[in-house]
Structure 1
């Protein structure tokens, strides 16, 4: 412990009433509490912020003694007892969540040994609330200054998920892997298959919800060898693009830059949670189809016709493999399918075209689609350009499309009123009604009924019904 580096840091952490109460209770029981992990790391990166999540590690007391001390503060949940982790419930004050732990081996464990049980050195920094010093037992301060992710010791390999934690730390802070840690991560690659998908998604979700340096995250995937865990993305490495449109390099480079741009655009738009996830991952994965659809023509041009629609199965496959929720996949897939629409259509779109696009994008929104398209064009290095969807957003606003296409205005009971029998013919008529609605032929239910009456009067409804395969004419 004499070898530990202590750096004075008065006022580093602004502690609320919940944390203060826990620290006082532990000290009163004879323990030595330290703030550890992310709250210390984040305070050093951005001083002056009050941490929302606080980890406290207690030395000098056994697990039962800590539990007894904390009962004076609030209810204690001991579900993590096998891991020597206690979660203090109902001690949420000033927006603080508290996790309290003791060293797994022994409450008398030296600080250095406890620090070496953590994943990366930048997460093994401790803050002594009594002396107001940062305690650095494993070189975390130097690595934090250098932006390096270095494993603390042999215990790193006990949980292979720590590699993906490194990916999300890179996404959030722009960190890179130390060479020896990259090698250890490569050695751990076979263990990926045994990780539960819910844990895998937990790290990817943080990448998408909190990441601002997606290029750094992909770099960690590459250096660690764990890009192989998402083979659909890995196949973009080395896929050449037409330098006229993509001077930045191969398709993987473009995907990284587009994801960086998407994170910035999502933040500008104030997106959080699943909304941000859809935009960031939509941008990262939008060109997966290029691995299959890129062609090198005899005249030297490189094309990828069909890659947008062809990439959808690959996107769904990748997202499913990392445990993404079905609702998130359902929003990303149509954005990927439609990300070339504004380019291939050309000119200012009609209101009908925007309505039809909104319908195809459901359950994603026009805004989410626009942000991904904007990121696509901003992620081309020297070839970056303005968002090609601006006019689409303008038309959407003026024609009251807003975020998502409206529900079909014609209803099944309207068809029943004309004595049509439910069946395949219903689907044919309803699709025609939706197309007419998107074309602006009617804007409310009364208009939809009037449209149907006109269709019946001039014989077009009968023609539609007759076109239904094997329809029951009624």
Structure 2
């Protein structure tokens, strides 16, 4: 044992599949020393008995080529990460990352199989991710105090190598979101010194951390705290502007708009998990709730009578949401689903009462490509994220009507077709547009619900002269 090393007996701690066991045996047979590292060890300590989704193996004492040769009989070996000392192994539906230690030489990462375990551990990001499981002795090896930090919920950098990759700050933010951890004061100070490096980070790497935050995070308020403490809240200025934006305590006793955003994100994560959402579907709801009030930075007003209002902030929040999501590299398809939810998040409140089927269909149309179900979850999170002022979801009746109207997911396409007008002897052209708009309004108002009804509506429009007037409107210069 080295100075400061802690070995904790942990027989059976990490539940391994057949592929992982085969990898470990193949490496040992070739003369290497394999250890389980990173998240699979952290999560095994946090959640005993849960089989890890991802298993990372680090091999000491063997060159990468010898590791690859030893693993060839085990399964398919992908050398996509070879330049970084990483191999991907697939067997029986299991995927594992197998690596050798890496050193930083002249700014580039190079494989260094002769590196000691102690040095390798101190090149990792946070102490909670620097725990090692020795499968030969079935012990957790802790060289940097990771077990204590895991117990206390603290994110502490392992050493000076943390600064080699400034993206590690955002990794800490997403770990805060996933586990509710907080930054150690000295780590927060180091993160603040790295803030200028954010501008040089590739957007795809930035999005990788935000994606994990949205897909796996449960403590969004902890993520915001980590962003603020690290000084990296400024990397998303649209969100930073909410810090200190006061809200009317009658509706928002929980605090300012940034506090509310974090609590709404917490609530959205819980609601999304309850609904069984994963991947992009979960990200839409979580990010939609986290960002739904960005418009308050510009639209909040303090009235002479002491009231605080933010009329127009829903519509006004669309542009900053688009800007923020673009800046962190979010896919355009995801942005397209989040922005209409933000724009419409006040609809149920401003409309009041039980909506008509027509109102629900029109809302579903405005929300596309998002769904009413996703919108409802974000609205519910908004109202659940108000501390002592939290209340029930105001969209319940909208969901009920949507279900009975058959638009609980999407409004559906226009039932009338251009071929229906051509069948009347009308030549196609831009003059069709007013007819189609009128037909869509009629469809959403419930005047017809199927193809036969659409054709009958067109026949009535022709008979009463509306069709002619609409076509004339479309022909005007």
TM-score by structure 1 length? Answer: 0.96
- CA distance in 2 between partners of 1:409 and 1:65 (Å): 63
Shift in Å, 1:194 = 1.1
- CA distance in 1 between partners of 2:57 and 2:462 (Å): 73
Q: Give the superposed CA RMSD.
A: 1.3
* 1:365 corresponds to which of 358, 364, 371: 371
Moved over 6 A (4+): none
- CA distance in 2 between partners of 1:355 and 1:458 (Å): 26
The count of residues paired between Structure 1 and Structure 2 equals 468
Q: Deviations over 1:351-409 (max 9, x none)?
A: 00001000110000010000000000001111110000000000111121221101101
Question: What does residue 334 of structure 1 align with?
Answer: 340
Question: What does residue 322 of structure 1 align with?
Answer: 328
Contact preservation (8 Å) 1:52, 1:96: no
Question: What does residue 99 of structure 1 align with?
Answer: 97
Shift in Å, 1:469 = 6.6
Contact preservation (8 Å) 1:54, 1:96: no
- CA distance in 2 between partners of 1:24 and 1:400 (Å): 56
SS of match in other structure, 2:226: helix
Q: Deviations over 1:321-361 (max 9, x none)?
A: 11111110010010001000000000000000001000110
Q: Deviations over 1:3-41 (max 9, x none)?
A: 211011111012111111111111111111110000000
Shift in Å, 1:425 = 2.6
Shift in Å, 1:155 = 1.1
Contact preservation (8 Å) 1:172, 1:212: yes
TM-score by structure 2 length? Answer: 0.96
Contact preservation (8 Å) 2:253, 2:386: yes
- CA distance in 1 between partners of 2:440 and 2:430 (Å): 16
- CA distance in 1 between partners of 2:100 and 2:450 (Å): 64
- CA distance in 1 between partners of 2:153 and 2:165 (Å): 22
* 2:214 corresponds to which of 208, 223, 228: 208
* 1:349 corresponds to which of 349, 355, 362: 355
Q: Deviations over 1:62-87 (max 9, x none)?
A: 22222222123223322323322222
Distance 1:202 1:428, change over 3 A: same
Contact preservation (8 Å) 2:88, 2:95: no
Unaligned runs of 5+ in 2: 104-111
Q: Does 1:2 align with 2:2?
A: yes
- CA distance in 1 between partners of 2:146 and 2:102 (Å): 21
